[in-house]
Structure 1
Amino acid sequence: MSPVAENNKWVKVGEKGIGPGPRSSHAMTVAGNKVYCFGGELKPTIPIDNDLYVFDLETQEWSIANATGDAPFPCFGVCMVTIGSTIYVYGGRDASRKYNGLYSYETLTNEWKMLSPPEEGLPGRSYHSMVADDRKVYVFGGVSAKGRLNTLDAYDVVDRKWVQYPSAGEACKGRGAPGLAVVEGKIWVLFGFDGNELDDIHCFDLASGEWTAVETSGEIPEARSVFSAVSCGKHVVIYGGEEEPHELMHMGAGRFSRDVYKLDTETLVWEKVKLVEGTKEEEKPSPRGWCAFAVAVKDGREGLLVHGGNCPTNERLDDMVFFGF
């Protein structure tokens, strides 16, 4: 068993069973006391498999879901979220730039269903970002066959249809791999990549239907993409990411971060999160990006759970770490 999680401390999570192994550009979400992991690559642009890996947060054991139905094909640059007992998986592509549509996976019956093919629903993409509330799955940005996008759409799981929101406008460039969070009725878009690492923030008010370019202060993080971003109360918490791309772009490993920051969405002040006093260097996770992440509850504490990713040596990681809020 791993040590009990503490606030502002990284804990390496013990793992047993058949897990995803080393990979990056994959996705992760939590339903109940289980973590679900899908997609990814071991070598750049070559998807590994379309197995759905399940991690039990209590037994700390991995298994592969005995899934039925119509599953997404093997892909990378994919996203997944949970509403109730249902997981929603959208996007991602294979080596030939074929894109997945929107799928659901019902955790109570272990059944996959295709809800919306890319040729009929939202245009296919990869390296987009996705969040959910209790009714809608929100999708922002990503890289499509026609380039990088700056659109915000949502799939209404009750009405079973896509909803398109107003354009973010020219001030918000099309981008891949931004941070995305929903906080108190607002969608927050943070940073991303448009050929360069971006440092801007934009906010969409779901009630008014208006976009705002957001100016922040405090310990502002460097521009970045492919990082972990989740909401915690009124805060957006981010970890890691690529601050400077490699000259080979996706084929190489750029300069990665290992720091945690939080943004107060009311005061618009950033704070670099200080780890508990006495934290040793070897207790900190490796700098990384392109990892899978989700909010999870471990040992009674809520925090950020991160699996795998790419590191400065361009090797894919297979560890799982937890940061208690």
Structure 2
Amino acid sequence: MAYPWSARRLQLPPPTLLGKNAPQSTAPSPSPFPRYGHSLPSSATSAGELFLFGGLVRDTVRNDLYIFSTGDIAATLLQTGGEVPSPRVGHASGLVSSVLIVWGGDTKTDTKPNTSETQDDGLYLLNLVTREWTRISVHGPAPAGRYGHAVTMLGTRFFVFGGQVDGEFLNDLWAFDPNSLKSKACWECIKPSSSTEGPACRTGHTCISYGDRIFMFGGTDGQYHYNDTWAFDVNTRQWTELKCIGYIPSPREGHAAAIVDDVIYVFGGRGVDGSALGDLVAFKISNQRWYMFQNMGPAPSIRSRHAMASVGRRVFILGGESSTPGKDVDDPDTIHVLDTSTYLCIP
């Protein structure tokens, strides 16, 4: 019997250095794991490549970049140049064409323990061809720097929702379109078209786009953990709390999500008691039903603050933090893949 979950050994090719004349190493790239609080766009390039940036590695905040080949199950450390973002955790990223967008995160690292500076609100774009970073100068209003927010790409637009900064939890929605770089780069604050209440302020939630809607699930405001599901229609600019049926997931934050067809898969997170979770659930958009799964093979261990991305019908889970201090979630050289083409009981 073929199980949906599989554990795959991670290959580690030598790092890729900048410049044609740069001396190329023959030693393997260091494993990117264990790591949590990193960013990973929820979709891959046409070549099936994912880009993992930053996060926390054994108490050290990083700003390294890895390219993950989903075909070879290989992670290669990439050298980049230009205005490289500072080390950060709890940021988020998106992919449009050959550009990686990174925004937000907690940059108050151990090297600046007593700093009172605000969170970095810089918008960083990486040209994946030249591997040069650029910090974009934006005009007009912009979202406050934050961490624990969620982002999603809808068309060419990079949407940011919620997050937290210095104990303040947010529920604002912003969009940046890289096409605006042709004139004056600017953010757009997306105000709902009606006075209808939208989602409560939160952090540690997920956002996934499908069609003309953004689907948001879970999160916490520091006091309350949520398991609500909302949709934002970018055409009508209205939030709607969905009346879901089926096996509604328990409240959580720090989970991750990815989409295959019209099914959003959610794994892990932290529950109300602070313990990491290890359940896989799925939300089918067309019937607004939640599904749960059990006994599907070598599943990932319990974790939070990991990342997920889909490539074709496969979903990849990278990194994460366990509930046990000092305990890694998995072998650093092993990753988990969910094959949704295997029978998952979603009609």
> TM-score higher than 0.5 here?
yes
Q: What is the aligned partner in structure 2 of residue 312 from structure 1?
A: 323
Please tell me the residue identity of whatever aligns with 1:284.
Answer: A
- Structure of higher CA gyration radius: 2
Is there any run of 5+ residues in structure 1 with no aligned partner, and where? 1-5, 246-253
Please tell me the residue identity of whatever aligns with 2:149.
Answer: H
Q: Aligned equivalents of 2:81 and 2:204: distance in 1?
A: 30
Shift of 1:274: 4.4
Q: Aligned equivalents of 2:85 and 2:289: distance in 1?
A: 40
Q: What is the aligned partner in structure 1 of residue 188 from structure 2?
A: 163
Please tell me the residue identity of whatever aligns with 1:57.
Answer: T
| 2:214 equivalent among 182, 187, 194 | 187
Please tell me the residue identity of whatever aligns with 1:165.
Answer: I
Please tell me the residue identity of whatever aligns with 2:318.
Answer: H
Question: What is the correspondence of 1:288-307 to structure 2 with a 5 Å cutoff?
Answer: 288-297=303-312, 302-307=313-318
**1:268 and 2:288 aligned:** yes
Please tell me the residue identity of whatever aligns with 1:111.
Answer: E
Is there any run of 5+ residues in structure 2 with no aligned partner, and where? 13-27, 109-114, 341-347
Please tell me the residue identity of whatever aligns with 2:77.
Answer: I
Q: What is the aligned partner in structure 2 of residue 323 from structure 1?
A: 338
Q: What is the aligned partner in structure 2 of residue 9 from structure 1?
A: 5
Q: Aligned equivalents of 1:42 and 1:115: distance in 2?
A: 27
Query: Is the CA contact (8 Å cut-off) linking 1:47 and 1:75 kept in structure 2?
Result: no
Shift of 1:177: 1.2
Count how many residue pairs are aligned between Structure 1 and Structure 2.
Answer: 301
Q: Aligned equivalents of 2:303 and 2:207: distance in 1?
A: 18
Please tell me the residue identity of whatever aligns with 2:75.
Answer: W
Query: Is the CA contact (8 Å cut-off) linking 1:73 and 1:100 kept in structure 2?
Result: no
Query: Is the CA contact (8 Å cut-off) linking 1:237 and 1:262 kept in structure 2?
Result: yes
| RMSD of aligned alpha carbons | 2.3
Q: Aligned equivalents of 1:208 and 1:169: distance in 2?
A: 12
**1:54 and 2:87 aligned:** no
| 2:256 equivalent among 220, 228, 233 | 228
Partner secondary structure for residue 120 of structure 2: coil
Q: What is the aligned partner in structure 2 of residue 75 from structure 1?
A: 88
Q: What is the aligned partner in structure 1 of residue 205 from structure 2?
A: 178
Query: Is the CA contact (8 Å cut-off) linking 2:281 and 2:293 kept in structure 1?
Result: yes
Q: What is the aligned partner in structure 2 of residue 66 from structure 1?
A: 79
Q: Aligned equivalents of 1:261 and 1:224: distance in 2?
A: 12
Q: What is the aligned partner in structure 2 of residue 3 from structure 1?
A: none
* Range 8-17 or range 176-185, more displaced: 8-17
Shift of 1:119: 10
Q: Aligned equivalents of 1:181 and 1:148: distance in 2?
A: 20
Shift of 1:204: 0.8
Question: What is the correspondence of 1:30-179 to structure 2 with a 5 Å cutoff?
Answer: 30-31=44-45, 32-42=47-57, 47-95=60-108, 96=115, 98-116=119-137, 121-145=142-166, 147-160=168-181, 161-167=186-192, 170=197, 172-179=199-206
Please tell me the residue identity of whatever aligns with 2:187.
Answer: W
Distance 1:38 1:293, change over 3 A: same
* Range 146-155 or range 119-128, more displaced: 119-128
Query: Is the CA contact (8 Å cut-off) linking 1:136 and 1:157 kept in structure 2?
Result: yes
Q: Aligned equivalents of 1:316 and 1:120: distance in 2?
A: 41
- TM-score (ref. length: structure 1): 0.85
Distance 1:192 1:171, change over 3 A: same
> Percent identity among equivalent residues?
23
Please tell me the residue identity of whatever aligns with 2:204.
Answer: A
Please tell me the residue identity of whatever aligns with 1:230.
Answer: A
Shift of 1:7: 6.8
* Range 112-121 or range 62-71, more displaced: 112-121
Shift of 1:75: 0.4
Partner secondary structure for residue 179 of structure 2: coil
Query: Is the CA contact (8 Å cut-off) linking 2:218 and 2:252 kept in structure 1?
Result: yes
Q: Aligned equivalents of 2:10 and 2:62: distance in 1?
A: 23
Residue by residue, what CA displacement relative to the aligned partner does 1:179-237 show, whole Å, maximum 9, x if unpaired?
11111110111110111211212211111111111121101100111111122222221
Residue by residue, what CA displacement relative to the aligned partner does 1:87-118 show, whole Å, maximum 9, x if unpaired?
11111112346325211111111111112579
Please tell me the residue identity of whatever aligns with 1:307.
Answer: L
Shift of 1:20: 1.6
Q: Aligned equivalents of 1:77 and 1:117: distance in 2?
A: 22
